[in-house]
Structure 1
Amino acid sequence: MASSRQDVLTRAFVRWNWVRAVLHNGWWLVTSVYLVLDAGLSAAQIVAIGAVQGIFALCCEVPAGVLADTVSRKWSLVVSQVLMGTAMLATGLVTSFPLLLATQVLWGLAWTFASGSDIAWITDELDAPDRISFVLARTARAQLSGAATGLVVIGALAWATRRDVAIVGAGVAMLLLSLYVVARFSEERFVPATGPRWAASWTTFRRGLSLVRGSPDLLRIFLATFLINGATDAAGRLAPKQLLELGLPIRLDPIIWFTGLGFVALVLGAVALRIGARRLDGEHARHSYGVAAVVGTAGAIGLAFAPNAISAAAALILVSGIAVPLTRVISMIWVNARTTSDVRATTHSFLAQAEYLGEVVCGLLITLVAHVAGLPVALAGAAALFALTAAIMRRPAV
């Protein structure tokens, strides 16, 4: 009976992640073009949206995780879906910069309610420590295949109709997905915190912080996450410009090129996770993370000093198709195995904060280097961050 419930929960969780990946990745592909061509935003306005969104997410990430640990993981996910669908839908209805800034901030805020809550929910409801790593790896593969599907399906919808129609349609579908969470995600093992809400939240926060500070393993993966997210964010932002400067053919719309590259990287990521499924946790995790960081180093160096657009594209696929998905999944499994049920969502929120800080601090520093010393030097800086991460993960466990 327990095994049957576990199978039902696993299928529901994997399917939900697949559909969510379809909608949010396809939506963002169309939105990224909509912001430029339909809303007419400048480069400075687009960068400002990203910066403000990141600041709000950084500030709200841990409070949202604490809320999930004290009130409800399931209903945190429902709130996330409703806010996300509303933000996505509203994006297609407005074109002014202030309103688009508001929709994107709301979209970023929506993710903080799901970040960590989803993993905490499935881990505790499944109640199968020997199985959870497999489920999380399977979920990551579903997210990658869903993302690839979303690029094609929602991109085609935007091409066949209009960009704003595709954006609104994806938002409506995301809102409806909240009903799936309500209907299929049971919450039988979670125990809400007792006592005054704010006191319980503060206690949960302190427990999570104490857990992280007292664990060399968690501190190691948080530092690695900080560095590698800075490297991947910078490489991702600078790669399109590098490819165009190296002579990416523009007879075909560049958005088609980048969609194709993204699709190939997502498929490669799913394959890499499938092949390495047995080496993502336990004793193998540290070694696998280090190998992925070495692959990222090679990819970033290749992107920096590629002689032409084809070799640069191949290097970019190494970074986004192997280094990024492997390190993200391993860090998620690593943290999940070293936390406790009462602060699980909070601890995952700390991990998300390390990601945001890496993007802001390291990413902005490398972007500054790009302005001062040029793209190759900046991308070499990203390669150095990958290499430093690999060195940290090769150090013996304390």
Structure 2
Amino acid sequence: MDTASMFMNATKVYMIKSFLTSLANTTMFTTYALYYIVTLGFNPFELLVIGTVLELSVLVLEGITGVVADTYSRRRSVILGMFFLGIGFAMQGIVPALDAWIPMISVFGLVLFSQVVSGLGYTFISGADTAWIVDEVGEEKIGTIFMKAKRYSLFGNLLGIALSVALATLAPNLPYLIGGLMYLGLGVFLILFMKETGFIPREREQGASHVKEMIQTWTSGAKVIRSQPILMLILFVTLFTGAASEGYDRLWEAHLIAEIGFPEFAAISMPMWFGIIAALASLLGLIVVGVVEKRLDVNNERVVLVGMFTLTGLKIAAMIAFAFSPSFSWALVALLLISVIQSLSNPLYDTWLNLNIESNVRATVLSMMGQSNALGQTAGGPAVGWIGTRFSIRASLVAAAILLAPILIVFGRALRRR
């Protein structure tokens, strides 16, 4: 068989990647709390440390790995990331076996190490995958591609929810083990079928070392951000989005459990309720994303900006409504609205960002945006958490919503510029 004939259409590869990564992530993370708390016995402080180690790994490594994609190859960077993620997640899945075979190994230490490995994987993929698909299909189609990929991701979520519950019923560690193997399999798939035709490597300086080339690429990316006001605005948006999301993501379940409660009718357990909420959110996301993809020109930057401005305002209102929910039904509606908004916001944000970055430093700039998000999460999460400890979880959720308010000003300013 001709080697070229083995490669798939770039759009098809990107859709398969989106589906499988969402399937793997949902398989692992739907029941991860039961595994961490019940099986491994981690206390709240240890859970916080695990999350912090992952975010710090991303913050430190993002700038290095993003440069690799712009200097050498987006394809290689994505494939490396898949294998590192597969190893990191599978490592967490075999923790009980390692603890039984080698008692002197600390379970907590092994999980922390796996977070660093996973963080390395995230940073190799972050920026590189979107930079690759933009180069392959062109900027004029990218809004449609991102919306379509979101639909594939939501399908993966639905399947992953059911798979996670089924695997966790057999053994609590199986979701992580199977999720890790999915990532390893995806890495092999990309080696076989992912092509790279649109990437133009930076011109190499004769005699320059690899380190010098990477430093030059990173410096070029930083200059691009500083020289373009729109990218500085996007950096600001990313920072505050990270700060707000960390507080909300860590506390919405606790608010639902501790301050609102679940209906007592029928034999529906708490894990089942969370599964139902996740499934409803994915189904609604599929419907709404499909409608928006058909009705709006998501490749038009002004349409994208108006959409993000509107969605941010709605998200602030929905988060405050969730914080002050007087009943479970009220909270459920607010939760589903927030989830649908996020399903729409992510592809719109990716479109806006990629329309404003030059191809030769795209992966580097995207990685810098990832660093900004990680910095926001690292700084904003503890601050929002302190408010919850000092006052209440409701106060923390309101604080997270307020952190999104400056983003409205940024979107308004960007619209005026257009």
Pairwise TM-score range, normalised by the shorter structure? over 0.9
Q: Which residue of 2 aligns with 1:293?
A: 312
SS in 2 for 1:163: coil
Distance 1:226 1:209 in 2: 16
Q: Which residue of 2 aligns with 1:330?
A: 348
Distance 1:270 1:125 in 2: 25
TM-score of the pair, normalised by structure 1: 0.93
Equivalent of 2:175 in 166, 176, 180: 166
Verify: 1:131 aligned to 2:138, yes or no: no
Deviation of 1:47 (Å): 0.7
Distance 1:191 1:394 in 2: 35
Alignment of 1:83-232 (within 5 A): 83-95=84-96, 96-126=107-137, 128-159=138-169, 161-193=170-202, 194-195=204-205, 196-232=209-245
Distance 2:118 2:269 in 1: 28
SS in 2 for 1:68: helix
Deviation of 1:279 (Å): 4.7
Deviation of 1:307 (Å): 0.5
Q: Contact 1:82–1:174 (CA<8 Å) still a contact in 2?
A: yes
Sequence identity, in percent?
26
Deviation per CA, 1:213-264: give whole Å up to 9, x if none. 1212122222122222322221221111211121224763322212221222
Q: Which residue of 2 aligns with 1:41?
A: 42
Distance 1:254 1:103 in 2: 29
Distance 1:201 1:325 in 2: 34
Q: Which residue of 2 aligns with 1:351?
A: 369
Distance 2:338 2:129 in 1: 26
Q: How many residues align?
A: 392
Deviation of 1:7 (Å): 8.1
Alignment of 1:225-374 (within 5 A): 225-244=238-257, 245-249=259-263, 252-277=268-293, 278-280=296-298, 281-322=300-341, 324-374=342-392
- Cα separation, partners in 2 of 1:215 and 1:276, compared to 1, 3 Å: farther
Question: Aligned partner of 2:44: which letter?
Answer: A
SS in 2 for 1:130: helix
Structure 2: which 5+ residue stretches go unaligned?
97-106
Distance 1:228 1:271 in 2: 25
Deviation of 1:308 (Å): 1.4
Q: Contact 1:243–1:313 (CA<8 Å) still a contact in 2?
A: no
Q: Contact 1:23–1:150 (CA<8 Å) still a contact in 2?
A: yes
Q: Contact 1:65–1:349 (CA<8 Å) still a contact in 2?
A: yes
SS in 2 for 1:210: helix
Structure 1: which 5+ residue stretches go unaligned?
none
Question: Aligned partner of 1:335: which letter?
Answer: L
Cα RMSD, aligned residues only: 2.1
Question: Aligned partner of 1:37: which letter?
Answer: V
- Cα separation, partners in 2 of 1:279 and 1:232, compared to 1, 3 Å: farther
